[in-house]
Chain A
Amino acid sequence: MNGAEAIVQTLIHHGVDTVFGYPGGTIMPLYDALFDSPIEHLLCRHEQGAGFSAIGYARSSHRTGVCIATSGPGATNLITALADAMMDSVPIVAITGQVPTGAIGTDAFQEIDILGLSMACTKHSFLVTEPETLCQTLHQAFTLARSGRPGPVLVDIPKDIQQAIASWHPPLDLVANNFHPEKVESDNLHKALGLITSSSRPVAYIGGGVGMANATEELRQFLNITGIPSVCTLKGLGTVNADDPSYLGMLGMHGTRAANTAVQMCDLLIVAGARFDDRVTGKLEAFAPDAKVIHIDIDPAEVNKRRPADITFHQPMQWVLAGLSTHLQNNEWADYCQQLKTEHQWQYNKPGDDIYAPLLLNQLSQRLPDNAIVSCDVGQHQMWVAQHMTFHHTHNHLTSGGLGTMGFGLPAAIGAALARPNDPVVLVSGDGSFMMNIQELNTIRRRQLPIKIVLLDNQKLGMVRQWQELFYDGRYSETDLSDNPDFITLAHAFGIGGKVITHRDEVTCALDEMLDIEGPWLLHVRIDAMENVWPLVPPGASNHEMLEKSS
């Protein structure tokens, strides 16, 4: 067995059945070993596409995603995807080829110091320099990627290490992960219960960490038992049952007025798997000014980072939420939040014949089954998806939250389609984002993946244009995309059928047609170039200072 074959054996040991990548010189031994292995390799058309596909695979299936690239440009092309996985805490193992050990540091062909480049965008990275450490290093990479707060780990493997004689062995250090609460932790629980029972206006602020901790059911039980009103972050969408009457929607810059108002008024914020992100808090000093804070997060670095907490928990989310589940009598506050929710429901009755993207997305959402996966890109359409579509689990909503990476959506949808082949996958993209990884349409063709693409085309870099209109005196610098290609012709070139719609009365038939078609499909939706995302908390403002369309 050589090193490359040992790598494949290690991947199999960790349950990897699908990997995403692109071959090249220094990773050829591994591709040779993959050639007749049981692992399915999906050839993407750019290493960034492979990285995002691994993210889509991981996020939609709660498994570790694996991507592979060669040295030099192959490795640097992975960087953006690794940074995305780092910001959104996605377990990824990235394997890169490296020039032979003797050539490292000589500026060899396709040599780059990916270990150094990856430090800021991975949980950890390894350079394997001895064949006997190869398997143990890969075992460590899988353990690290999943442990604690998940994240990406990179393993850089020189070509001679892949070719050297190696032996496979199982992980050396099997660590038991049983949690047994000690007295101090139980005391903390009692203190938190005291805060909860003595509060009169509590709100639960839910982030993506709950789903990652496999604590969605415990969270729903906690909300059900306590009756505490809840709000979600972008990445938390799907954690709270959409039918929960006390759920107020997304908070933050493009959150609902009900969610932001309730948070601003609350006297206790129970924060679960969230990190007071600047897009959530607005002006930090004015965020939930009267609230005490109970912060539950596995990462100690996120607690007291942007907002001091009164009580903190780093213990397993399931244990904490179960311990905090207590019946409360607080009908007045719950009724008030309900009133906010009713008063500020979304309105879809925009006059005119133009296609109104929020309405279209709501109509699409109503047509999708609960197990549908929606991947989206970054920009106005991303916020409309978050506002107007309903999710039943965080695994069903793929969005680039922390890094905000345009070009995420298409390859992430591909990864999800491979992870969950029996579930429908829809990509909602914008004309700016779509062009950033357009080459991955060929990956769809390669596997005939039945991904439905809804392209909301305003011929603008919409979110930047919106900010230029509102905050830069309408100086529209480089946000015009009216020279876009003909997207339907483009899709046809990749063997994907499609249709253009421009009027509102075409929407429902076009959505039904798209969802009825068996293979991939592009629905090209022309929308008003000047449409904005509302409501909006302006930069530097606090969350109760939301702008509405009429302001």
Chain B
Amino acid sequence: MSFQLQLQCHKQPDVVERVLRVVRHRGFTLNTMSMTPSNCGQKIELSMTVSSLRPAHLLITQVQKLHDVVTLRCIDSQTDNAAISC
């Protein structure tokens, strides 16, 4: 199953590394990723598509725990429906 994650994170030098580590360790494959600075300059917007045989919530609940992740939205790539957001 493939889905899209849209994250807003504090602009810290290590934040992307932390997110990617969790994606890999929890059994998800990163397919695409883009990063843009947010309007205020203190945050970044991350968008990525990931896939796995594991259900999305197993990744989302782990990513949400990261200290520098502010918001997270998950969109099912097949249906374009927002699956989970925080």
The interface of chain A, by Cβ under 8 A from chain B, is: 115-116, 119-120, 123-125, 127, 144, 299-301, 304-305
CA of A220 to CA of B57, assembled, Å = 33
Q: Are A301 and B21 in contact (CB under 8 A)?
A: no
Q: Are A124 and B67 in contact (CB under 8 A)?
A: yes
Q: Are B17 and A116 in contact (CB under 8 A)?
A: yes
Q: Are A301 and B65 in contact (CB under 8 A)?
A: yes
CA of A269 to CA of B57, assembled, Å = 22
Q: Are A301 and B62 in contact (CB under 8 A)?
A: yes
Chain A residues within an 8 Å CB radius of B25: 120
A-B contact count (CB 8 A): 26
- Majority SS at the chain B contact face: helix
Query: Which of the residues A119, A299, A304, A305 comes within 8 Å of B17, measured between beta carbons?
Result: A119
Chain B residues within an 8 Å CB radius of A125: 14
Chain A residues within an 8 Å CB radius of B61: 300-301, 305
Given contacts A304-B57, A305-B58, contact A119 B14 (CB under 8 A): yes
Number of interface residues of B (CB under 8 A): 13
- From residue A209, how far is it (CB to closest CB) to chain B in Å? 15
* Sample (25) of A-B pairs whose CB atoms are under 8 Å apart: A115-B14, A116-B14, A116-B17, A119-B14, A119-B17, A119-B18, A119-B21, A120-B21, A120-B25, A123-B65, A123-B67, A124-B66, A124-B67, A125-B14, A127-B14, A299-B65, A300-B61, A300-B64, A301-B61, A301-B62, A301-B64, A301-B65, A304-B57, A305-B58, A305-B61
- From residue A212, how far is it (CB to closest CB) to chain B in Å? 16
CA of A550 to CA of B40, assembled, Å = 70
A-B contacts besides A119-B14, A301-B61, 15 pairs, CB < 8 Å? A115-B14, A116-B14, A116-B17, A119-B17, A119-B18, A119-B21, A120-B21, A120-B25, A124-B67, A125-B14, A301-B62, A301-B64, A304-B57, A305-B58, A305-B61
- From residue A385, how far is it (CB to closest CB) to chain B in Å? 32
CA of A120 to CA of B21, assembled, Å = 8
Residue of A nearest to B67 (CB): A124
- Of residues 5 through 26 on chain B, the ones whose CB sits less than 8 Å from some CB of chain A are 14, 17-18, 21, 25
- From residue B84, how far is it (CB to closest CB) to chain A in Å? 11
Chain B residues within an 8 Å CB radius of A119: 14, 17-18, 21
CA of A115 to CA of B66, assembled, Å = 14
- From residue B25, how far is it (CB to closest CB) to chain A in Å? 7
Of A116, A120, A301, the most chain B CB neighbours within 10 A belong to A301
- From residue B52, how far is it (CB to closest CB) to chain A in Å? 14
Chain B residues within an 8 Å CB radius of A124: 66-67
CA of A123 to CA of B65, assembled, Å = 8
Residue of B nearest to A151 (CB): B65
Chain A residues within an 8 Å CB radius of B21: 119-120
CA of A127 to CA of B18, assembled, Å = 14
CA of A20 to CA of B61, assembled, Å = 33
Chain A residues within an 8 Å CB radius of B67: 123-124, 144
CA of A120 to CA of B65, assembled, Å = 13
